[in-house]
Amino acid sequence: MDCLTHFFSPQLKKLHSGKVRESFKADENHRLILATDRISSFDFVLETPVPYKGAVLNSLSAWWFEKTLDICPNHFVKSLDPSMSLVREAEPIRLEMIVRAYLTGSAWRKYEKGERTVSGVPVPDDLTKNAPFPEPIVTPTTKEASDRPISAGDIVKEGWISEAIYRKMHDISLKLFERGRTVLAERGIILVDTKYEFGLIDGEVVLIDEIHTPDSSRFWLKDAWEKNPKTVEQLDKEFVRNYLMEHKTPSGYPLTLPEEIVSETSRRYLELYERITGKELVLPPSRPQTRITENLIKAGFMKEGCVVIVMGSPSDIPHAEKMAERIKTYHVAVNMRIVSAHKNGEMIPVLMEDVIYSADPVCVIAVAGRSNGLGGALSANLPVPVINCPPFSDKTDLMVNINSSLMMPSDTPALTVVDPKNAADAAVLCLNTPNLKKAFRLKIAHVKMELDKANKELQER
């Protein structure tokens, strides 16, 4: 089954890539957030993705964002795809507000060893595994290279945020948690603990990231907890954590998950989504990358294809801009970059990563004069069509240097087109989309019609 582990497109500027989510620029005030099928635990990302996980996280967060607007504004604007949302830009507050209602997980493991505080918050003696606290407690942590528990006093003392903003985040967190508990109780689910993240938009505290998902929260079935609190089945990521702890070796945790664990994790995520929302999460049979591309095109954030013009030096920009203008007339995206085959060619796989793994159709035009090594270097590294179109200054330049573009090494199938307009058209044709093929059919028909018209006028003289 195809899983969504990454999403690449030269049409989108990537702003951030986290353990699970990736962010892309939408405009000056908005960004696109993609929830992938990657799964992390104990501060590392496992090599095995979980099918449907990203769609559950994004779709469930969208559901909760709308259900909690009366408590706190959030950054959510709308879902563009089951795995992707459009959100408002916010200045993130680098804290996680963790609300806990039960003694479980790492807190229980420390409690067993004699600790009677959870992230600095005192808890009663004589509690048992998975027992409820008298009241939910808020245990903030920092968002750093290694997250650490931090007290309210130290948050203000270390300058993370002001006391007033922290107090507001604290109060909102408890209200959100209570709303979550109430809604989930009606569905036979216990909200055990969760984390909230906040940001600032025009000075206003807003909820960001995710809310009440199986990645950010623990969930138990109420009936199972009442039957036996100590062995209650979890519907969240703790299932994976437990597997990793059970199979830890002196060299560390496993980096991969067996198929049965992946399948069961996926089932639990889907079950939780359906229990909470009352709806089945139905996804089309197409590859996730294809589905997301189609939805972004419909929403106007991508065009149906992209031509990347790569130049050997800044002096090639005027030549590239001529082609870019023509390409844009076909409503195709154009992206321009500079890299030299001779001077920093080792950077091609890095600078062109979004082309190598692009979800959308892409063609590359190489613009380099004299001894053109750029086209061959690009063709040797990229799994997309590459067209050489050197910026010849005159016919002498063309005759002297054309061979460096025509003669390519083996396994470097770069094409060469001398005329910039033809190169632009050829690149668009290489995208091979139905709409572009239709545009060229109409263009060809128009050229034929004009020639027929000219011939008839000539014959009638």
- Tell me the sheet residues that pair with 98: 139, 195
Q: Is it the case that residue 334 has pLDDT exceeding 80?
A: yes
Query: What are the tens digits of pLDDT across the range 396-424?
Result: 888 888 988 898 889 999 999 999 999 99
Query: What are the tens digits of pLDDT across the range 115-174?
Result: 998 877 889 999 999 999 999 999 999 998 778 889 899 999 999 999 999 999 999 999
Domain residue spans in the chain? 306-446
pLDDT band at 105 (very low <50, low <70, confident <90, very high): confident
Q: Which residues contact 45 (CB under 8 A, 6 or more apart)?
A: 19, 20, 38, 39
Q: What is the CA angle 94-100-105, rounded to 5?
A: 100
Average pLDDT score over residue span 47-51: 96
Q: Which one is the CATH code of 306-446: 3.40.190.10, 3.40.50.1970, 3.20.10.10, 3.30.9.90?
A: 3.40.50.1970
Q: Is it the case that residue 285 has pLDDT exceeding 90?
A: no
Average pLDDT score over residue span 433-437: 96
Closest CA to 208 of 83, 82, 68, 80: 68
Q: What is the CA angle 12-18-23, rounded to 5?
A: 25
DSSP for 109-152, written as a single string: HHHHTT--EETTEE--SS--TTPEEEEEEEEEEE-SSS--B--H
Give, as one character, the DSSP assignment of residue 174: H
Type of residue at 339: V
Average pLDDT score over residue span 245-265: 95
Type of residue at 434: P
Residue 124 CB: number of other CB atoms within 10 A? 10
Q: Is it the case that residue 250 has pLDDT exceeding 80?
A: yes
Q: Is it the case that residue 76 has pLDDT exceeding 90?
A: yes
Average pLDDT score over residue span 365-378: 91
Helices (H), ranges, 113-187: 152-157, 163-185
Per-chain mean pLDDT for the chain: 95
Q: Is it the case that residue 2 has pLDDT exceeding 90?
A: no
Average pLDDT score over residue span 91-98: 97
Type of residue at 237: K
| The two three-digit tokens of residue 215, written as one number | 């990645």
In Å, what is the CA distance from 139 to each residue of 70, 99, 162, 375?
24, 6, 17, 56
Query: What are the tens digits of pLDDT across the range 56-67?
Result: 999 999 999 999
3-state secondary structure 28-60: CCEEEEEECCCCEECCEECCCCCCCHHHHHHHH
pLDDT band at 208 (very low <50, low <70, confident <90, very high): very high
Query: Helix, strand, coil shares of the chain as percentages rounded to 5?
Result: 40, 25, 35
Q: Is it the case that residue 33 has pLDDT exceeding 80?
A: yes
pLDDT band at 372 (very low <50, low <70, confident <90, very high): confident
What pLDDT score does 169 carry? Answer: 98
What pLDDT score does 125 carry? Answer: 92
- Tell me the sheet residues that pair with 79: 85
Cα distance from N-terminal residue to C-terminal residue, the chain: 68
Average pLDDT score over residue span 63-73: 98
The pTM is what?
0.92
Render the burial of 168-197: b for 16+ CB within 10 Å, e for the rest.
bbbebbbebbebbbebbeeeebbbbbbbbb
